[in-house]
């Protein structure tokens, strides 16, 4: 098991090289995926699962027959374990909810907001597709609600469970909305016409994408995510909205600046990131060549991981050379008609898309930063309950005994009377 976990990053990186370059199914329009976004949602993520989910599983299954995988027992075992885990999870969802994820689900939309009454986060998940009528009954049974508990909200039936730790869900034949806050779910049922973030995401989603993320930066949101306030002040404070998309042949990042200074900073930042993305393929090729020359299978002084790479470097490096040489990553930074600063990176191969998407999401991770105690410290809660002061009982103090003088006292010898 330790060997499998030690080498898991290798076959996981190979899996990323199998990302599709074109949608296998019909892409879901961005307006459809964003039509049930709550007006106060601060983070929105859409996943066009129906366009690439089944294709990804097929490619991952074929990956197990690759000679590189078959000739490497640790990676082969890890591949089989992960494939069994994925299929087991899909069967569990189908058995419990009656939903075939790869057949019935077209898209997923995740929404997050800061709770208006506490420091917690409210989550809601929109699942779009075509569902059987018995799915509603299974959801009612899981949440212990009855058919007469449903409240009609437009074309949806809203179920609110009064039991502790039960989900709130809204049901229609084509959409299921799950969450824990009834007010948040009701806002999601109002549609995207009242959500500024959803409107903004739909305007720049002009290309089919696998994953699309939109964020309304705020200092409170950064603190609630446990991220650095300093990074927020440096990068996100002067931007109204931030978006990222994982395309089929590249990636895209876009910001909506509040003023000209923020627009200039975003332009320089995106240009620098794009330049690093363009040089990423050359840098990876250089690292592979250095490793190819340094690592020797006969060198027993290398660590275990290095010995494994040295023993299998011929098939492994051949595959990586092939994908990286075909990448040809290019980037462009533009300003659209609405004043947004747009960074778009494209590549001719899976490796090019991998480099572009990795760099774009690395910028997102950098923007959210790590926790900083200096810039991210909450004041201590002050209890409103009055504190009753108790008088400490007086303690009897024993009288002090006088100290004995233990010092030696010299006594002069008595003088004898003279005769």
The residues that bridge with 281 in the sheet, in sequence order, are none
Q: State the pairing for strand pair 250-257/168-171.
A: unpaired
Closest to 200 in 3D by CA, of 44, 86, 414? 44
Interatomic CA distance for residues 267 and 98, integer angstroms: 48
Interatomic CA distance for residues 292 and 318, integer angstroms: 11
Interatomic CA distance for residues 235 and 103, integer angstroms: 41
pTM for this predicted structure: 0.74
The SS3 of residue 257 is strand
* Dihedral (Cα; 219, 224, 228, 231), 10-degree rounding: -40
Domain boundaries, the chain: 217-373
For residue 143, the tally of other CB atoms under 10 A from its CB is 17
Transcribe 25-38 into DSSP letters. Answer: SPPPPHHHHTTT--
**What separation in angstroms does the CA of 43 have from each of 176, 224, 315, 356?**
19, 12, 42, 22
pLDDT at 394: 60
* 315 CB-side CA count, 13 A: 12
The SS3 of residue 334 is strand
The structure tokens listed for 191 are 């549609």
pLDDT at 90: 92
The SS3 of residue 417 is coil
Interatomic CA distance for residues 49 and 105, integer angstroms: 7
The structure tokens listed for 380 are 């201590």
Closest to 145 in 3D by CA, of 122, 123, 166? 166
For residue 260, the tally of other CB atoms under 10 A from its CB is 9
**What separation in angstroms does the CA of 71 have from each of 65, 76, 282, 311?**
10, 8, 28, 11
pLDDT at 369: 47
The DSSP symbol for 91 reads: H
Interatomic CA distance for residues 315 and 312, integer angstroms: 6
Q: Tens place of pLDDT for every residue, the chain, 419 residues?
A: 444 444 445 555 555 666 777 787 788 999 899 999 998 898 999 999 888 888 888 888 887 887 777 777 777 887 888 889 989 999 999 998 888 998 899 999 999 988 888 778 889 999 999 898 888 888 888 888 888 888 888 888 998 877 656 678 899 888 999 988 888 888 888 765 578 898 899 888 878 888 899 988 876 666 655 555 566 666 677 888 989 888 888 888 899 999 998 899 889 988 888 887 777 667 777 777 888 888 888 888 887 777 777 887 777 777 777 777 766 778 899 998 888 999 988 876 544 445 444 544 554 555 444 444 444 444 444 455 555 555 556 666 666 666 666 555 555 555 555 55
How many helices (H) and strands (E) are present in the chain, helices listed first?
A: 16, 12
Interatomic CA distance for residues 42 and 114, integer angstroms: 8
pLDDT at 410: 55
The structure tokens listed for 161 are 């469970």
**What value, to the nearest 5°, has the Cα angle with vertex 280 and ends 278 and 284?**
145
The SS3 of residue 121 is strand
Name the residue with tokens 């929105």: 44
Instruction: Classify the C-alpha dihedral 271-272-276-279 as positive or negative.
Output: positive
């Amino acid at each position: 098991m330790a060997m499998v976990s030690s080498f898991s990053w290798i076959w996981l990186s190979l899996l990323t090289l199998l990302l599709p370059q074109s949608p296998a199914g019909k892409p879901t329009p961005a307006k459809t995926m964003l039509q049930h976004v709550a007006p106060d949602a601060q983070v929105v993520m859409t996943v066009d699962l129906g366009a690439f989910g089944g294709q990804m599983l097929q490619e991952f299954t074929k990956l197990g027959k690759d000679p590189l995988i078959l000739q490497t027992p640790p990676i082969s075992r890890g591949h089989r374990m992960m494939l069994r885990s994925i299929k087991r999870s899909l069967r569990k969802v189908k058995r419990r909810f009656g939903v075939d994820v790869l057949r019935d689900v077209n898209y997923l939309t995740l929404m997050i907001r800061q709770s208006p009454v506490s420091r917690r986060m409210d989550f809601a998940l929109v699942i779009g597709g075509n569902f059987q009528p018995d799915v509603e009954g299974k959801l009612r049974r899981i949440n212990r609600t009855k058919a007469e508990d449903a409240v009609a909200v437009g074309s949806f039936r809203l179920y609110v469970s009064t039991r502790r730790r039960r989900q709130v869900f809204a049901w229609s034949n084509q959409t299921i909305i799950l969450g824990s806050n009834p007010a948040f779910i009701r806002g999601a049922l109002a549609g995207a016409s009242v959500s500024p973030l959803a409107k903004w995401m739909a305007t720049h989603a002009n290309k089919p994408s696998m994953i699309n993320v939109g964020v309304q930066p705020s200092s409170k949101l950064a603190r609630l995510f446990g991220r650095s306030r300093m990074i927020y002040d440096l990068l996100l404070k002067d931007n109204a909205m931030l978006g990222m998309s994982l395309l089929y042949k590249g990636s895209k990042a876009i910001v909506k600046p509040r003023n000209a200074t923020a627009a200039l900073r975003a332009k320089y930042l995106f240009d620098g990131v794009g330049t690093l993305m363009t040089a990423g393929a050359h840098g990876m090729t250089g690292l592979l060549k250095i490793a190819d020359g340094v690592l020797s299978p006969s060198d027993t002084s290398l660590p275990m991981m290095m010995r494994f790479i040295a023993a299998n470097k011929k098939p492994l490096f051949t595959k990586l050379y092939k994908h990286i040489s075909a990448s040809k990553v290019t980037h462009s930074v533009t300003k659209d008609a609405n004043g947004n600063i747009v960074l778009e990176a494209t590549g001719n191969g899976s490796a090019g898309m991998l480099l572009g998407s990795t760099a774009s999401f690395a910028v997102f991770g950098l923007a959210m930063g790590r926790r900083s105690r200096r810039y991210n410290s909450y004041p201590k809660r002050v209890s409103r309950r009055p504190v009753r002061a108790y008088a400490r009982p007086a303690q009897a103090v024993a009288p002090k005994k006088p100290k004995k003088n233990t010092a030696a006292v010299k006594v002069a010898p008595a003088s004898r009377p003279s005769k």
